[in-house]
Structure 1
Amino acid sequence: MFSSAYSLDASALSLRYNRDNLFALSVMKPAYEHVTMDAGCSIRVFHRKLPRIPFEWHHHPEYELTLTMNSRGKRYIGDSIVDYEGNDLVLVPPDLPHTWASNKSIDSTAPQVAIVIWFSGDWARRLADCCPEYEPLRRLLRRGASGLAFTQEAGATVSQRLAALLSQSPRERLGAVLDVLCELAETDAAPLASPSAFNKEHAGRPSGHEPERINRVLGVIDARFAERLTLRELAEAATLSERTLNRYFVQHLGESVGKYLNRVRIGHACRMLADTSWPVSVIASQSGFPNVANFNRQFRAVKDTTPAAYRREFAGRNREPHDPSSLESRSPSLEKRR
């Protein structure tokens, strides 16, 4: 009797916890993540290693296949909130808000790991159109309209292919990803977010033009951040007014165009300070700051230290040269903001 009552109480508490969390998520605006594809690549693979997985409620227009290992916590996909652990393998559809959150590793001596694969639905459909061998991709996208959670056995199978998925060869990575996606098209999986929740997330949202225009501006910034870029020029690239472009950035990225551009420039300067012996004045110019005094001021505002002090932090360390296409690098749109 006591055991049964305790079970009912625990179930009621769990339902209440999830209901309260769903309400919180329903009023929390997800951050917009700008996923960039490296030059010469049609997919993006991100090898994430960290002591814990932080709560980062976000969305993006790409499909995402994520394998989470050595981690135990909660997974939030749309209105689906479940506990996860072990080899957690999930497909997230475009623009459906999602995050994982964990403070506990299964093996406390090792980091938590997430292998994240981003790809475009249009790209996958075009590939299926051209190559009948990849017809399973179309079936996977249809099945994954509300997200899919695969079995831990499927996750363990994918984990055995990490060498190919994380290869330094883009062609080998692509081949491994295509094989995995086609096999998952025929693998049992449970749907995640309810259709009504998915529709609610998209209700009242413009039909994709905001992310498209933001991506256009982010592409200009990625390619030309070291140049003098004006808000007017960026607004023209998006065919928007300057005020509307700033509003879109604040809504989707959580900061103004100017702050985002400044953060990209400071991030580039940090890498140059750590990886080269170039003078600070040269690094400032190469990062989009023609005035060294302004560079020092902006750097201190973002990093709470000077460029010279930041460089000293890395002095004497054997560091690999920075690789802009590193599988462990991430675009700045979801970095922790000050």
Structure 2
Amino acid sequence: MKPAYEYVDFGDRCSVRVYHRRLPRIPFEWHHHPEYELTLTMNSRGKRYIGDSIAAYGADDLVLVPPNLPHTWASNRSIDAASPQVAVVVWFDGAWVRRFVDLCPEYAGLLNLLRRAASGLAFGEGAGARMRATLDRLLSADSRERLKAVLDVLDDLSDAPAAPLASPSAFDAKTGKGAPSGHEPDQIHRVLALIETGYASPLRLATLAKAAGLSERTLTRRFSQHLGESVARYVTRVRIGHACRLLTDSSMPVSVVAARAGFANVANFNRQFKAAKRMTPAEYRRQFAGARHAEDDMTARLTERSPSLGPRRQRRKSS
């Protein structure tokens, strides 16, 4: 599925954008944009699609999506049928956060939040309720009050427990590749680049260490320090991410997908895929196939959003 580009208008003299959306149901809107997006979903139960991650969600679902990672929520079920489903969405620019931290080092934890959010984050129980408690400030008519509330929420989340969502290679809308945080040392970047280009072939730790100019032990330690997981686990997630793209964008047999994604045999692929996605490759393909049917009327449904959130190509016709 090709995601729609969404242009986010921050308004005059505003550093962040907060949008309060209330709907009888949340339609499937597969889209992307260059801003970070923090979304709190309330009175809603359904499925969310973040890159190659498909998961059920419920009350006070709180997710941070990194730039250019396609995503959507979809729900026909309100928890309280008498009330609308609600999404409070906060958009902010990563470069703005980094400049802000340079000026205000007290907020250095925000850089860690951006690093952790490279593949998207679903925050643990309680985080959504804490953000919900700030809604009066987040939705204030005073832009300064909104900004202070956003900073408080992001600061609270900077070390809050959260689960990563998409694979490292999942569905970057511009390049077809994912990316870690962009702040790893050059040695680690060389390893990441080698993994990204060579995932379909056997990757030995000795080969990766040689590319980085490090010993295997030092690479293992530094990789875990900067990526938060082992080299082997990261390689598996990259391969799973590429397999997900092949499953959604082609009709090739699962055995061929497994081979092209770098798995030595289909049984191992099925086992690793189910452990990562909690469903078989065939089930995953069916899930996205169902979402693809909803894509037919996606363009029309995007008009349900605020006019300032229309696709860029429409908003720039007059310029």
Deviations along 1:259-303, one digit per CA (max 9) or x if unpaired, are xxxxxxxxxxxxxxxxxxxxxxxxxxxxxxxxxxxxxxxxxxxxx
Distance 1:157 1:328, change over 3 A: farther
Q: 2:8 aligns with which of 4, 26, 35?
A: 35
> Could you tell me how far apart the structure 2 residues matched to 1:95 and 1:79 are?
13
2:90 equivalent among 74, 98, 117? 117
CA shift for structure 1 position 199: 5.8
Aligned to 2:316: none
Query: How far off is 1:328 after superposition?
Result: 6.1
1:72 and 2:45 are equivalent in the alignment: yes
Match for residue 148 of structure 1?
121
- Which residue does the alignment assign to 2:289? none
Q: How does 1:86-105 map to 2 (within 5 A)?
A: 86-105=59-78
If asked which structure has higher relative contact order (CA below 8 Å, sep 6+), I would say 2
Structure 1 residues 102, 173: closer, same or farther in 2, change over 3 A? Answer: same
Match of 1:61 in 2: 34
Cα distance in 2 for partners of 1:149, 1:204 equals 21
Is the Cα contact below 8 Å between 2:32 and 2:173 reproduced in 1? Answer: no
SS in 2 for 1:152: coil
2:311 paired residue number: 333
Amino acid at match of 1:151: G
Residue 178 of structure 1 is aligned with which of 115, 140, 151?
151
Whether the aligned pair in 2 keeps the contact of 1:46 and 1:330 (CA below 8 Å) is no
Taking the aligned partners of 1:31 and 1:61, their CA distance within structure 2 comes to 12
| 1:158 alignment partner in structure 2 | 131
Q: Which amino acid aligns with 1:79?
A: D
Q: Which residue does the alignment assign to 1:139?
A: 112
CA change 1:169–1:154 in 2 (3 A) is same
CA deviations on 1:2-53 (whole Å, 9 max, x unpaired) are xxxxxxxxxxxxxxxxxxxxxxxxxx10000000111010100000000000
SS at match of 1:149: strand
CA–CA separation in structure 2 for the residues paired with 1:82 and 1:147: 13
Contact 2:69 2:173 in 1 (8 A): no
C-alpha displacement at 1:136, in angstroms? Answer: 1.2
In our comparison, the structure showing a higher alpha carbon Rg is: 1
User: 1:331 is aligned with what amino acid?
Assistant: L
TM value normalised by structure 2: 0.56
Deviations 1:54-112 (A, max 9, x none): 00000000000000000000000000000001000000000000000000100000000
* Partner AA of 1:129 in structure 2: D
Write out per-residue CA displacement over residues 227-284 of structure 1, whole angstroms, 9 at most, x where no aligned residue.
xxxxxxxxxxxxxxxxxxxxxxxxxxxxxxxxxxxxxxxxxxxxxxxxxxxxxxxxxx
Paired with 2:177 and 2:116, the residues of 1 have a C-alpha distance of 25
| Aligned equivalents of 2:172, 2:306: Cα separation in 1 | 33
Q: Contact 2:112 / 2:158 at 8 angstroms: preserved in 1?
A: yes
Identity between Structure 1 and Structure 2 (%): 64
Alignment of 1:1-338 (within 5 A): 28-198=1-171, 202-203=175-176, 330-333=308-311
Q: 8 Å contact 2:68–2:173 — kept in the other structure? A: no
Give the superposition deviation at 1:170: 0.3
Distance 1:164 1:329 in 2: 23
Q: In structure 1, what is the Cα distance between the partners aligned to 2:97 and 2:173? A: 26
Question: 1:203 deviation in Å?
Answer: 2.8
1:138 partner letter? L
Q: Distance in 1 between matches of 2:175 and 2:45?
A: 30
What CA distance in whole angstroms lies between the structure 1 residues aligned with 2:176 and 2:55?
24
Q: Is the 8 A contact 2:38 2:64 kept in 1?
A: yes
Structure 2, unaligned stretches of length 5 or more? 179-304, 313-319
- Cα RMSD between the aligned structures? 2.3
Match of 1:129, SS state, is: helix
Give the SS at the match of 2:159: coil
State the 1:200 CA deviation: 8.6
**Deviation at 1:198?**
4.6
